[in-house]
Amino acid sequence: MKRADRPRALTATGKTREAVIVFFDAVIERRFSDADKALGEVRNRKLSNPEFQDGYIKALEGILTSARSGDERDYLNRSSDTEEDLEKQSKDFREILMKGRPKPFDLGFFSAWSDLVHYRLATNKFSKVAQP
């Protein structure tokens, strides 16, 4: 992926960011073994706050589990996939992150979900993530 094609505004930086992008691509394209490998890379990287990192990784694990299961009760599988709806989700996650004084774990958790939405918008990947 060329530098100009990379989405902006992701939480992770450097090598961690690259692993997160590979993870998102793999989940969207249902390449779960590649997503597992990328998730392992993210786990091995150190973010600035261990609690934030735990929340971020828990969200990525949940995204992967949801995509694998295809369970329509999961947020990932029941959320709409239009550009308008993704913009609304992005706004909702931003509001959650800005509201009050969330704990680092919560910031990490919702940042990962926000990053997924931003990534899908930036790369025009609007189709459902999980279609078994």
Indicate the length of the chain as a whole number: 132
Whether residue 11 lies inside any domain: the answer is yes
The closest alpha carbon to 115, from 19, 8, 4, belongs to: 8
Residue 64 falls inside a structural domain: yes
What is the tens place of the pLDDT at every residue in 19-39?
999 999 999 888 999 999 999
Asked if residue 46 is part of any domain, the answer here is yes
- pLDDT band of residue 5 (cuts 50, 70, 90) is very low
Domains in the chain: how many in total?
Answer: 1
- Phi/psi for 103 (5° steps) reads -70, 155
128 in a structural domain: no
**Residue type present at position 77:** N
Quick check: is 8 in a domain? yes
Domain interval for residue 92: 3-122
Per the domain annotation, does 85 fall within a domain?
yes
The answer to whether residue 59 is domain-embedded is: yes
Q: Provide the whole-model pTM.
A: 0.81
Residue 127 lies in a domain: no
Residue type, 40: G
**Tokens 């990962």 sit at which residue?**
112
pLDDT in tens, 36-66: 999 999 999 887 789 999 999 999 999 999 8
